[in-house]
């Protein structure tokens, strides 16, 4: 395995030589000092070499990522060298050209993690098969063949998402005058329905009480413990919690304002903070308040805590993956606020940052029902306190 230091110290020789990194990839050091990344592979019994770029323009990490992308294509029956040639010769109105144009136009509406999944899904499961085809000539059976390949490996949900993305590309092509119809519209029902996997969540009050007491007894770091304690009180998405920045909080007004750039729907979001939530934040503020992140990584204060930190803590407390997840705090709050505390569904949906519209079909703004949501969040925090103190929830806890 290579390191950047090894590469930096590699001196040119009279003849080219290789520095192997593994899995077929190596750095070819030339007599003039240039360094070329290459990948040797076999396809249909033939030995081939793929250029991965030039160092230092392409770092060791980036070269490894390109290597893995190429190997994924090979495993899927696609020759990466031929795919690259096809891309260079692809017509202006090819499916891939139109798809990338669509993606670049709308990617700002999605968080990075979501946009990355979209483009990688298209690159892995769609472009190799119909990427070079004229977008206006692709027929439903041809698209179905592409989706069947995804279905065949058991990735039913991915097949549905790929069909959805293709439909968005085709509709964009229609709007820009490069296609006349969307072939994905004819494929409804052609792919088996996805069973769907909901995030594991605890929603029964008695079990919630046990979870809260387990969190109180957690013996890990203060940062992880505070994040665990705050999670049920704010029930935001795990990524929104772990990437929380101190600049987003106003503890005096008890509000957390998450910018649109960090929200899944690319809309700013306001989280009213209960007294209990503010107390937790004030507890950790002397420790991390001088930095950017409320919950920094244990390795570097310049990065947020790991996306696995909350999940790992739940596992340490004895909760299995089919019992509780970091995302499960959202389902917990949604269920209990509605079914036990009797809160209005539209207030709950607003607080979950779900798309909510009024009777006229207009989207509510982020400040909609804010005073009521402040009250709801305090009611929720007080209810959790009562559960923590008594494993048997009190009766008649519904409020209008």
Q: Is 364 a catalytic residue?
A: yes
Q: Is 207 a catalytic residue?
A: no
DSSP letter assigned to residue 193: P
Question: What are the structure tokens assigned to 107, written together?
Answer: 């990617």
Q: Is 139 a catalytic residue?
A: no
Cβ count near 368 (within 10 Å): 15
* CA-atom Rg of the chain in angstroms: 26
Residue 56: asked if its preceding bond is cis (omega within 30°), the reply is yes
CA–CA separation, 393 and 386 (whole Å): 7
Q: Of 107, 161, 364, 388, which one is the catalytic site residue?
A: 364
Q: Is 120 a catalytic residue?
A: no
CA–CA separation, 111 and 273 (whole Å): 24
CA–CA separation, 271 and 374 (whole Å): 8
Asked if residues 167 and 182 have their Cβ atoms less than 8 Å apart, the reply is yes
Q: Of 121, 237, 243, 350, which one is the catalytic site residue?
A: 237
**C-alpha angle 114-120-122 in degrees, rounded to nearest 5:** 105
Q: Of 139, 275, 354, 398, which one is the catalytic site residue?
A: 354
Q: Is 327 a catalytic residue?
A: yes
Q: Of 84, 117, 264, 369, which one is the catalytic site residue?
A: 264
Q: Of 327, 334, 350, 373, which one is the catalytic site residue?
A: 327
Asked if residues 380 and 274 have their Cβ atoms less than 8 Å apart, the reply is yes
CA–CA separation, 94 and 20 (whole Å): 37
The four Cα atoms 210, 206, 224, 251 give a dihedral, to 10 degrees, of -130
Asked if residues 92 and 84 have their Cβ atoms less than 8 Å apart, the reply is no
Q: Is 41 a catalytic residue?
A: no
CA–CA separation, 177 and 321 (whole Å): 48
Q: Of 243, 330, 334, 350, which one is the catalytic site residue?
A: 330
How many Cα neighbours within 13 Å face the side chain of 153?
Answer: 10
CA–CA separation, 191 and 144 (whole Å): 8
Active-site annotation, residues: 237, 264, 327, 330, 354, 364
């Amino acid at each position: 395995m290579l390191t950047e230091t090894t590469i930096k110290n590699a001196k040119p020789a009279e003849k080219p030589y290789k520095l192997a990194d593994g899995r077929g990839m190596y750095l070819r050091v030339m007599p003039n000092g240039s360094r070329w990344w290459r990948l040797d592979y076999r396809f249909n019994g033939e030995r081939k070499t793929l250029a991965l770029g030039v160092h230092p323009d392409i770092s060791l990490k980036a070269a490894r990522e390109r290597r893995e992308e190429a190997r994924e294509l090979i495993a899927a029956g696609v020759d990466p060298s031929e795919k690259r040639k096809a891309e260079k010769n692809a017509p202006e109105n090819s499916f891939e050209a139109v798809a990338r144009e669509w993606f670049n136009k709308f990617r700002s509406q999605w968080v990075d993690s979501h946009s990355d999944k979209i483009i990688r899904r298209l690159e892995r499961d769609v472009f190799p098969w119909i990427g070079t085809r004229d977008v206006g000539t692709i027929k439903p059976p041809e698209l179905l063949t592409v989706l069947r390949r995804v279905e065949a490996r058991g990735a039913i949900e991915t097949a549905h998402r790929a069909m959805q993305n293709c439909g968005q590309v085709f509709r964009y092509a229609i709007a820009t005058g490069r296609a006349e119809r969307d072939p994905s519209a004819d494929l409804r029902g052609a792919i088996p329905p996805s069973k769907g996997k909901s995030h594991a969540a605890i929603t029964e009050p008695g079990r919630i009480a046990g979870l809260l007491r387990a969190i109180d007894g957690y013996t890990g770091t203060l940062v992880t413990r505070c994040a665990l304690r705050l999670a049920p009180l704010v029930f935001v998405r795990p990524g929104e919690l772990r990437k929380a920045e101190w600049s987003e909080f106003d503890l005096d007004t008890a509000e957390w304002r998450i910018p649109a750039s960090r929200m899944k729907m690319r809309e700013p979001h306001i989280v009213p903070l209960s007294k209990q939530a503010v107390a937790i934040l004030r507890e950790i503020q002397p420790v991390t308040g001088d930095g950017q992140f409320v919950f920094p990584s244990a390795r570097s204060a310049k990065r947020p805590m790991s996306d696995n930190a909350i999940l790992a803590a739940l596992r340490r407390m004895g909760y299995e993956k089919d019992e509780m997840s970091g995302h499960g705090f959202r389902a917990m709050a949604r269920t209990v606020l509605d079914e036990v505390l009797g809160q209005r569904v539209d207030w709950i949906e607003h607080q979950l940052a779900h798309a909510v519209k009024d009777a006229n079909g207009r989207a509510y703004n982020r400040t909609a029902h804010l005073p009521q949501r402040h009250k709801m969040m305090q009611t929720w925090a007080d209810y959790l306190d009562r559960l923590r103190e008594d494993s048997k929830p009190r009766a008649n806890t519904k409020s209008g």
